[in-house]
Amino acid sequence: MSKIIGLTGGIGSGKTTVANHFHDNYHIDIVDADIVAREVVEPGSEGLTAIEHHFGRSILNEDGTLNRAQLRERVFADPSNKQWIDNLLHPMIRQRMQQQLEMATSPYCLLVIPLMVENGLQSMADRVLVVDVSPDTQIDRTLARDGVSKQQVLSILKAQATREQRLAIADDIINNDSDNGHLAEKIAELHRKYLALCH
Protein backbone atom coordinates (compact mmCIF):
# COMPACT_ATOMS: atom_id res chain seq x y z
CA MET A 1 0.00 0.00 0.00
CA SER A 2 1.19 3.53 -0.80
CA LYS A 3 2.43 5.85 1.91
CA ILE A 4 -0.43 8.10 3.03
CA ILE A 5 0.03 11.84 3.30
CA GLY A 6 -2.92 13.44 5.10
CA LEU A 7 -3.79 16.86 3.70
CA THR A 8 -5.86 19.33 5.69
CA GLY A 9 -6.48 23.03 6.19
CA GLY A 10 -9.29 25.37 7.12
CA ILE A 11 -11.94 26.73 4.78
CA GLY A 12 -10.46 28.92 2.03
CA SER A 13 -6.91 27.71 2.67
CA GLY A 14 -6.46 26.27 -0.82
CA LYS A 15 -6.46 22.53 0.02
CA THR A 16 -8.09 21.65 -3.30
CA THR A 17 -5.60 23.75 -5.27
CA VAL A 18 -2.71 22.00 -3.52
CA ALA A 19 -4.21 18.50 -3.94
CA ASN A 20 -4.93 19.12 -7.64
CA HIS A 21 -1.37 20.31 -8.19
CA PHE A 22 0.03 17.05 -6.77
CA HIS A 23 -2.41 15.11 -8.93
CA ASP A 24 -2.04 17.04 -12.19
CA ASN A 25 1.73 17.50 -12.12
CA TYR A 26 2.94 14.35 -10.35
CA HIS A 27 0.04 11.90 -10.95
CA ILE A 28 -0.47 11.36 -7.23
CA ASP A 29 -3.68 9.53 -6.30
CA ILE A 30 -6.12 11.47 -4.15
CA VAL A 31 -8.73 10.17 -1.72
CA ASP A 32 -10.99 13.09 -0.79
CA ALA A 33 -13.24 12.82 2.28
CA ASP A 34 -15.73 15.34 0.85
CA ILE A 35 -16.20 13.26 -2.32
CA VAL A 36 -16.49 10.04 -0.31
CA ALA A 37 -19.05 11.71 1.99
CA ARG A 38 -21.20 12.41 -1.08
CA GLU A 39 -20.75 8.87 -2.42
CA VAL A 40 -22.04 7.20 0.76
CA VAL A 41 -25.39 9.03 0.44
CA GLU A 42 -25.94 8.56 -3.31
CA PRO A 43 -29.35 7.21 -4.36
CA GLY A 44 -29.52 3.47 -3.70
CA SER A 45 -26.79 3.61 -1.05
CA GLU A 46 -27.14 2.10 2.39
CA GLY A 47 -26.43 5.55 3.86
CA LEU A 48 -29.27 7.29 2.05
CA THR A 49 -31.72 4.46 2.78
CA ALA A 50 -30.97 4.77 6.51
CA ILE A 51 -31.36 8.56 6.40
CA GLU A 52 -34.72 8.25 4.64
CA HIS A 53 -35.93 5.72 7.24
CA HIS A 54 -34.88 8.02 10.05
CA PHE A 55 -36.14 11.38 8.75
CA GLY A 56 -38.86 10.32 6.35
CA ARG A 57 -39.36 10.83 2.61
CA SER A 58 -39.27 14.64 2.93
CA ILE A 59 -35.47 14.45 3.37
CA LEU A 60 -35.18 13.54 -0.34
CA ASN A 61 -35.40 15.75 -3.42
CA GLU A 62 -37.86 14.94 -6.21
CA ASP A 63 -35.15 12.97 -8.04
CA GLY A 64 -34.42 10.77 -5.01
CA THR A 65 -31.17 12.49 -4.06
CA LEU A 66 -30.50 13.77 -0.55
CA ASN A 67 -31.93 17.22 0.16
CA ARG A 68 -28.84 18.65 1.85
CA ALA A 69 -30.46 21.96 2.78
CA GLN A 70 -33.29 20.11 4.50
CA LEU A 71 -30.81 17.82 6.30
CA ARG A 72 -28.73 20.82 7.43
CA GLU A 73 -31.86 22.43 8.89
CA ARG A 74 -32.84 19.25 10.76
CA VAL A 75 -29.32 18.82 12.12
CA PHE A 76 -29.08 22.48 13.07
CA ALA A 77 -32.45 22.41 14.86
CA ASP A 78 -31.61 19.34 16.92
CA PRO A 79 -28.07 18.36 17.98
CA SER A 80 -29.16 14.74 18.53
CA ASN A 81 -29.78 14.55 14.75
CA LYS A 82 -26.17 15.55 14.12
CA GLN A 83 -25.02 12.84 16.49
CA TRP A 84 -27.18 10.28 14.71
CA ILE A 85 -25.90 11.30 11.25
CA ASP A 86 -22.26 11.28 12.42
CA ASN A 87 -22.67 7.82 13.97
CA LEU A 88 -24.20 6.53 10.74
CA LEU A 89 -21.92 8.11 8.15
CA HIS A 90 -18.49 8.46 9.77
CA PRO A 91 -17.79 4.70 9.88
CA MET A 92 -19.04 4.36 6.27
CA ILE A 93 -16.85 7.24 5.09
CA ARG A 94 -13.85 5.88 6.93
CA GLN A 95 -14.31 2.39 5.49
CA ARG A 96 -14.74 3.74 1.92
CA MET A 97 -11.63 5.95 2.30
CA GLN A 98 -9.67 2.95 3.55
CA GLN A 99 -10.76 0.89 0.50
CA GLN A 100 -9.74 3.69 -1.87
CA LEU A 101 -6.37 4.11 -0.14
CA GLU A 102 -5.69 0.40 -0.59
CA MET A 103 -6.34 0.77 -4.32
CA ALA A 104 -3.90 3.67 -4.75
CA THR A 105 -1.07 2.96 -7.18
CA SER A 106 1.07 6.13 -6.95
CA PRO A 107 4.19 5.91 -4.70
CA TYR A 108 2.32 7.89 -2.03
CA CYS A 109 -1.23 9.14 -2.03
CA LEU A 110 -2.99 12.16 -0.58
CA LEU A 111 -5.81 11.69 1.88
CA VAL A 112 -7.68 15.02 1.85
CA ILE A 113 -9.74 15.50 5.02
CA PRO A 114 -10.90 19.07 5.71
CA LEU A 115 -12.01 18.20 9.27
CA MET A 116 -9.05 15.97 10.10
CA VAL A 117 -8.36 17.58 13.49
CA GLU A 118 -12.03 17.90 14.41
CA ASN A 119 -12.70 14.21 13.74
CA GLY A 120 -9.34 12.94 15.02
CA LEU A 121 -8.51 11.26 11.70
CA GLN A 122 -4.79 12.09 11.54
CA SER A 123 -4.14 8.48 12.63
CA MET A 124 -5.19 7.37 9.11
CA ALA A 125 -2.12 9.09 7.62
CA ASP A 126 1.62 8.41 7.84
CA ARG A 127 2.34 12.15 7.72
CA VAL A 128 0.18 15.26 7.85
CA LEU A 129 0.52 18.22 5.49
CA VAL A 130 -1.32 21.37 6.62
CA VAL A 131 -2.16 24.13 4.15
CA ASP A 132 -1.93 27.16 6.39
CA VAL A 133 -3.29 30.68 5.84
CA SER A 134 -4.21 33.56 8.10
CA PRO A 135 -7.85 33.90 9.20
CA ASP A 136 -8.09 37.13 7.15
CA THR A 137 -7.11 35.26 3.99
CA GLN A 138 -9.64 32.52 4.80
CA ILE A 139 -12.41 35.10 5.17
CA ASP A 140 -11.52 37.00 1.97
CA ARG A 141 -11.20 33.86 -0.16
CA THR A 142 -14.38 32.24 1.12
CA LEU A 143 -16.38 35.45 0.59
CA ALA A 144 -15.05 35.73 -2.96
CA ARG A 145 -15.59 32.05 -3.76
CA ASP A 146 -18.90 31.19 -2.10
CA GLY A 147 -20.72 34.51 -2.20
CA VAL A 148 -21.89 34.05 1.42
CA SER A 149 -22.17 36.65 4.18
CA LYS A 150 -19.18 37.48 6.35
CA GLN A 151 -21.25 36.36 9.34
CA GLN A 152 -21.64 32.91 7.82
CA VAL A 153 -17.91 32.63 7.11
CA LEU A 154 -17.10 33.64 10.68
CA SER A 155 -19.45 31.01 12.09
CA ILE A 156 -17.84 28.33 9.86
CA LEU A 157 -14.41 29.41 11.12
CA LYS A 158 -15.66 29.22 14.69
CA ALA A 159 -16.92 25.67 14.15
CA GLN A 160 -13.61 24.49 12.68
CA ALA A 161 -10.41 23.67 14.55
CA THR A 162 -8.19 26.67 15.24
CA ARG A 163 -5.11 27.39 13.18
CA GLU A 164 -2.98 26.39 16.20
CA GLN A 165 -4.78 23.04 16.59
CA ARG A 166 -4.13 22.22 12.93
CA LEU A 167 -0.48 23.26 13.04
CA ALA A 168 -0.01 21.10 16.15
CA ILE A 169 -0.59 17.91 14.11
CA ALA A 170 1.44 19.03 11.06
CA ASP A 171 4.56 17.22 9.87
CA ASP A 172 4.76 19.57 6.87
CA ILE A 173 3.26 23.02 6.29
CA ILE A 174 2.54 24.96 3.12
CA ASN A 175 1.89 28.63 3.78
CA ASN A 176 -0.59 29.69 1.12
CA ASP A 177 -1.28 33.31 2.06
CA SER A 178 0.34 34.83 -1.01
CA ASP A 179 -0.59 34.13 -4.62
CA ASN A 180 0.17 30.78 -6.17
CA GLY A 181 3.62 31.67 -7.53
CA HIS A 182 5.66 30.01 -4.78
CA LEU A 183 3.15 27.18 -4.37
CA ALA A 184 4.51 25.12 -7.27
CA GLU A 185 8.05 25.30 -5.85
CA LYS A 186 6.93 24.31 -2.39
CA ILE A 187 4.88 21.38 -3.75
CA ALA A 188 7.80 20.22 -5.93
CA GLU A 189 10.03 20.24 -2.83
CA LEU A 190 7.48 18.23 -0.82
CA HIS A 191 7.00 15.81 -3.71
CA ARG A 192 10.74 15.05 -3.72
CA LYS A 193 10.69 14.65 0.05
CA TYR A 194 7.70 12.28 -0.04
CA LEU A 195 9.22 10.17 -2.83
CA ALA A 196 12.40 9.84 -0.74
CA LEU A 197 10.29 8.67 2.22
CA CYS A 198 8.74 5.94 0.08
CA HIS A 199 12.04 4.20 -0.50
DSSP 35-103: HHHHHTTSTT-HHHHHHHHHH-GGGB-TTSSB-HHHHHHHHHH-HHHHHHHHHHHHHHHHHHHHHHHHT
**How far is residue 32's CA from residue 19's CA, in Å, rounded to a whole number?**
9
pTM: 0.90
pLDDT digits (tens, 9 = 90+) for 141-158: 999 988 888 988 888 888
Residues of the chain with pLDDT under 50: none
80 is in an annotated binding site: no
Q: Are 31 and 116 in contact (CB under 8 A)?
A: no
16 is in an annotated binding site: yes
> Closest Cα partner for 169 from 116, 133, 114?
116
17 is in an annotated binding site: yes
What's the pLDDT at 111? 98
What's the pLDDT at 76? 80
What's the pLDDT at 72? 87
Percentages of the chain per state (helix, strand, coil), in multiples of 5 = 55, 15, 30
What's the pLDDT at 81? 94
**How far is residue 137's CA from residue 176's CA, in Å, rounded to a whole number?**
9
What's the pLDDT at 104? 96
47 is in an annotated binding site: no
Residue 41 neighbours by CB under 8 Å, 6+ apart: 47, 48, 51, 66, 89
What's the pLDDT at 182? 86
12 is in an annotated binding site: yes
